Amino acid sequence: MPKVSLAESPVAEIYEEPSDLACAYSYFLAGRAAETDGNNDIALESYEKALVCDNKADYIMSRLAVLLIRMGKRQQALTMLDKIITQNPQDINTRIVLANLYAAMGMNDKAVEVYLDILKIDPGNVNAMLMLGAFYARNREYEQAKKLLEELVQNSPDSYMGYYYLAKLYRELKFIDKSLIYYDKAINLNWSAVFAFETAELLEQQKRYDEAIVLYRRILQEDDANERAANALIGIFMKTNQPDRALEELKEIRAFATDVLRIDFTMGRVYMEQKRYDEAIKKFKSVLDENPEFMPARALLALTYHELSDDEAAKNLLRQVKPADQGYEEAVLLMVRIMQEAKDLIGVERELSERILNKETRQASFYSALASLYKKDNKIEQARQVFLQAIKDLPDDTRLLFDYGVFLDSIGETDAALAVMEGILVIDSEDVYALNYVGYTWGEKGMNLEKALQYIQKAITAKPEDGFIRDSLGWVYYKSGDLERAMQELIKALEIEPDDPVINEHMGDVYLKAGSDQKAVELYKKAMQLYKEENKQEAVRKKLQDLEKR
C-alpha cells in the first residue's frame, strides 16, 4: 500500500484522538530544526507526526503549509490552508497566504475572491487592498484599481507601497505628473533604490534631467558601486552633450568609490566616445593591469585599437583570453566581429572552424556565427551542415537548437523549424523563446490555438516587457477571434516596440477587422516604410490597395 502523507489523507479529518500537546510541540521543534538545516523531507515528516499528536494545532498546520509551498506541493498546501481557514474563519494571515498561492498558480479569479473575503472581515486590510489593486491593474481594470488604491492611501497615509502602486498605475495610464507625485510620496516615506530608479527613468523620459540627476546621485551616495546609477548619470551627461561634466562627475565619484576600477573603466568609455583614444587606451590598460580578467575593459580596448585601424593589436589582445578564462566566448566573438568589419571573411571562417574542431575551445555560439557567415554568403547547405554538426557535438544545447530553428525558418523550411522548436520544449519546457515561437507559429497557421495561447501566456509571464512576445499574444487572440484582447495586447506591444514593422502590420490587421479603416491605413503605411524586404513591402501595399477599392 503506497504511503499517504497526513496532508493528503481524509482519515485525519474523521478519526480524531485526544491531543498530546507535548508530543506535538516536540515534533514541531524537530521540524523547524530540519527546515533550518535544509532537510525539507525530514521537516515534512516531523510536522505530519506533530499533527498526529494534535491535529487541530494551527501553528503546525501553518508551518506545514508554508513548507509544502516551498517544496512545490501546491495542491497539498491548498488543502492544508483550507483546513486552517475552516477551523478559524477569522485567520486573515492564512487567507493572505492562500490568496498569494492562488496567484502563484495562475488561479487569479480564486485569488481575487479570497482578497475580497479578507476585505469583508477587515475592510481596511492593507495587504489585501495592495494585492487586489495590483490584480486589477494587471487585468487593465484601471478604474477599480485606482479607486481601491486611492482609498488605501487615504485610510493609511503611511503606506509607501500604496503610493508606489498608484505611481505605477498612473504611469501606465500616461498621467505622468500624477505618477511622479506618488513616486515622490513613496520615496519620502521609505527610501528605496527601486523607487528611485523608476522615478529617475520617468524624469529622464520627460527630459527633466536635473531632477533625475539628483536621484541618481543619491543612489550612488547609498551604494557607490551601483553601476546602473553611475551609467545612467553619465548617460544623461553624454546625451546632453556634456562629456566634460561626465568626467568631472566620475572624478568626484572616484574619490569615495570602493570599486575604483569600475569608475576608471567608465572614464575610459567617455574618452572613447569623445574619440580621445590615447587617453581611453591608457585608462583601459590601467584597469587590465589591476585585473586582467576584466573583460569589458579588454573588449573596449580592442575596439579602440580597431577604431585606430590597428586590428592586429586588437586581435592579439583578444587572443590572450584562454578557453578557461571568464569572457573567452565574448573575446572570440568580438575578434570575429572586428575581422568581419575588416572584410577578412576567410580569416573569420578559419578562426571559427579551428575552434569548433577542438572540444576544449568550441562554444555553441561559434557554430551559429559560422553558419551565419555561410548564410550571408548564400552558402545555405554549408550553413546547414554546420548546424547539423553542432547538434551532433552539443545535442542538448537549447540556444544552439533555437538558432538552428531560426535558420530553418529564414530559408522557408517552417515545418522543420517548428519541429526543432518543439524539440527544445521537450528538453526545457520553460524556454521562453521556444514557447513564443511555437505559440506564434501555431497561431499563424490557425492550429492548436488554445495551446498556443497557453504557451505564449507562459512566455509573457516570464518576460512581461518583451514587445515581440506581447505581439505574439495579441496575434493569437486575433486569430482566435478575440479582437478586444488582441487590440489591448498589440497596443502594449507597440508601446514597447513602436518601430517594428510586423507589430505595426498586425495592429493594422486588427483595426481593419474592427472596422477602423483609417487607423489601419496609417499603420500599414508605417509598416511599409519600416520593412526592408521588398516582398513584405509588396504584401502590405496590396492590403492598402484592397482598402482603396472598398
**Each residue's pLDDT tens digit, 138-151:** 878 899 999 999 99
pLDDT at 8: 42
Mean pLDDT (whole number) for 318-327: 91
What span, in angstroms and rounded, lies between the C-alpha atoms of 453 and 258?
Answer: 48
Establish how many alpha carbons lie within 13 A of residue 381's alpha carbon, considering only the half-sphere containing its beta carbon.
0
Per residue in 286-303, pLDDT (tens digit) is 999 999 999 999 999 999
Of 20-34, 168-182, 344-358, 504-518, the range with the lowest mean pLDDT is 20-34
80: left (phi over 0), alpha (psi -120 to 50) or beta: alpha
The whole-model pTM stands at 0.63
Contact by Cβ (8 Å): 453, 478: no
- pLDDT range class, residue 527, cuts 50, 70, 90: very high
What span, in angstroms and rounded, lies between the C-alpha atoms of 484 and 293?
Answer: 52
Domains in the chain, start-ordered, CATH in brackets? 1-122 (1.25.40.10)
pLDDT of 102 over the 90 cut: no
pLDDT at 478: 95
Q: What angle do CA 120, 122, 127 make, to 5 degrees?
A: 110
pLDDT of 456 over the 90 cut: yes
- pLDDT range class, residue 470, cuts 50, 70, 90: very high
Mean pLDDT (whole number) for 424-440: 96
pLDDT of 200 over the 80 cut: yes
Average pLDDT, the chain: 90
- pLDDT range class, residue 24, cuts 50, 70, 90: confident
Contact by Cβ (8 Å): 427, 396: yes
Share of the chain above pLDDT 70, in %: 97
CB crowding 361-385: b at 16 or more within 10 Å, else e? ebbbbbbbbbbbbbbeeeeeeebbe
pLDDT at 19: 61
Per residue in 245-258, pLDDT (tens digit) is 999 988 888 887 78
pLDDT at 18: 52
Minimal CA–CA distance to 180: which of 192, 163, 160, 156? Answer: 163
Contact by Cβ (8 Å): 127, 96: yes
What span, in angstroms and rounded, lies between the C-alpha atoms of 161 and 298?
Answer: 42
Please give the grid coordinates belonging to residue 427: 528538453
Mean pLDDT (whole number) for 367-379: 95
What span, in angstroms and rounded, lies between the C-alpha atoms of 517 and 448?
Answer: 30
pLDDT at 417: 96
* Range ranked top by mean pLDDT from 17-21, 228-232, 271-275: 271-275
